[in-house]
C-alpha cells in the first residue's frame, strides 16, 4: 500500500444495484490511507471519457467496478500508464476477477485493494483491441448479435431464453482455420475460445490459459453436430473429465484465425469483431492488484 497515495474509482452504475454498491464501496475506500476520486457513471457510453479524465490526474490506482464487459472495454485505457488496476466485480460471471483469485464480494475485493500486491499481467488482443479475459466464436456471439433490442427488458428472461433456443436450432458447426506462422490447421468446430485466462462465463474452461504466461490460447470444441456443444457445456459446468474429449488447443504469441462462414466474435461478452482476426498477447502490459497469496488454480503462476 505504501506506493498508493491516490486512487480513482469508476463504477458502471447503470443499475440500481450498481448505484447501491458504489455508495458502499466509497464508504469502505474512504477509510483507506489514500485520496479518492470517485465516479458513478449512469450511462455506459460515458465510462471511457470518465476514465480518461481520471487518468489525467495521474492516480496511483484506478479501480473499475462492473462486469467483465466493463473492465475489458476500459482496460485499453490503462496501457501505457503507471496506474495499477483494481477490480470490483459487479457483474454476473466475473470471469476476470475469478482468474485473478479475487473475492467476488465488494468487501473482500476492497480488502485486496488494501492488503494485496500489484502483479504484472498480460492482456489478450483481437487485432488492435485489448481484452482482459476471453473472446469467443460460436452460438453465444450469434445470440448476442441477433437478439432484438430490449427483448429481455420487455419479455424478461423467458423471452431471452426463447430467442437463445431459436438460435440454437439455426446454429451450424463451422470451419475454423488457425495459422501460427509455421503451419495452418483447419477443422470443423462448434465453439472457439480465445483465452488470456481460464474462466469464460464464470466457468473454468481453458486449463492452459494464464494471465502471466506470455501466450494466447485458442481452444476449439471440435464436432460435426451442434449437440456436441451442449455436451461440452454440461461437462464444463459440472467439471467432468469429458470436457476434454472434444477439444483441441493451440497457443502462441500471435495466431491468425479465420472461419467459414465469417462469424462475429464476442470479447468478454460484447460483440466487437468479426473473422478473420489476429489473436495476440501483450505480455506484462499492465499491473493489477491481487491477493498476496494466490493459489495456482486461479490461472496465475
Residues 168-206 have pLDDT tens digits of: 999 999 999 999 999 999 999 999 999 999 999 899 999
Decide: 276 and 257 in contact? Cβ < 8 Å.
yes
Q: Please answer whether residues 68 and 39 qualify as being in contact, where contact means their C-beta atoms are separated by less than 8 angstroms.
A: no
Q: Give the confidence band of 38 by pLDDT, cuts at 50, 70, 90.
A: very high
Span(s) in the chain for CATH 2.60.200.40: 131-284
Confidence of residue 297 (pLDDT cuts 50, 70, 90): very low
Rounded Cα–Cα distance for residues 128 and 126 (Å): 6
- The boundaries of every CATH 3.40.50.10330 domain in the chain are 6-123+285-291
Of the candidate CATH numbers 3.40.50.10330, 3.20.20.70, 3.40.50.460, 3.40.1350.10, the domain formed by 6-123+285-291 belongs to 3.40.50.10330
Q: Which of 273, 220, 289 is nearest to 29 (CA)?
A: 289
In contact, 40 and 33? CB cutoff 8 Å:
no
Enter the DSSP assignment of 83. Answer: P
pTM of the predicted structure, to 2 decimals:
0.90
The 10 Å Cβ neighbour count of residue 176 is 27
Tell which CATH architecture fits domain 131-284. Sandwich (2.60)
Residue 154, phi then psi, degrees to nearest 5: -80, -45
Amino acid at each position: 500500500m505504501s506506493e498508493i497515495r491516490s486512487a480513482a474509482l469508476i463504477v458502471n452504475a447503470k443499475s440500481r444495484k450498481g448505484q447501491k454498491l458504489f455508495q458502499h464501496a466509497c464508504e469502505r475506500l474512504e477509510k483507506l490511507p489514500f485520496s479518492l476520486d470517485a465516479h458513478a457513471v449512469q450511462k455506459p457510453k460515458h465510462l471511457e471519457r470518465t476514465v480518461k479524465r481520471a487518468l489525467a490526474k495521474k492516480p496511483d490506482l484506478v479501480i473499475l467496478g462492473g462486469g467483465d464487459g466493463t473492465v475489458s472495454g476500459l482496460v485499453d485505457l490503462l496501457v501505457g500508464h503507471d496506474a495499477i488496476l483494481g477490480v470490483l466485480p459487479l457483474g454476473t460471471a466475473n470471469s476476470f476477477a475469478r482468474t485473478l483469485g479475487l473475492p467476488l464480494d465488494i468487501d473482500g475485493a476492497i480488502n485486496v485493494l488494501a492488503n494485496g500486491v500489484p502483479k504484472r499481467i498480460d492482456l489478450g488482443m483481437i487485432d488492435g483491441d485489448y481484452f482482459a479475459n476471453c473472446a469467443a466464436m460460436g452460438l453465444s456471439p450469434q445470440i448476442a448479435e441477433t437478439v432484438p433490442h430490449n427483448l429481455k427488458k420487455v419479455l424478461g428472461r423467458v423471452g431471452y431464453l426463447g430467442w437463445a433456443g431459436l438460435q440454437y436450432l439455426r446454429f451450424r458447426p463451422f470451419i475454423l482455420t488457425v495459422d501460427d506462422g509455421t503451419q495452418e490447421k483447419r477443422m470443423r468446430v462448434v465453439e472457439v475460445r480465445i483465452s488470456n485466462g481460464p474462466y469464460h462465463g464464470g466457468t473454468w474452461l481453458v486449463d492452459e490459459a494464464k494471465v502471466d504466461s506470455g501466450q494466447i490460447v485458442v481452444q476449439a470444441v471440435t464436432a460435426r453436430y451442434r449437440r456436441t456443444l451442449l455436451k461440452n457445456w454440461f461437462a464444463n459446468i459440472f467439471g467432468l473429465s469429458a470436457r476434454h474429449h472434444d477439444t483441441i488447443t493451440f497457443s502462441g504469441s500471435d495466431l491468425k484465425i479465420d472461419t467459414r462462414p465469417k462469424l462475429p466474435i464476442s470479447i468478454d461478452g460484447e460483440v466487437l469483431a468479426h473473422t478473420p482476426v489476429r489473436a495476440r498477447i501483450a505480455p506484462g502490459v499492465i499491473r493489477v492488484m491481487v491477493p498476496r497469496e494466490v493459489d495456482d488454480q486461479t490461472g496465475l503462476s
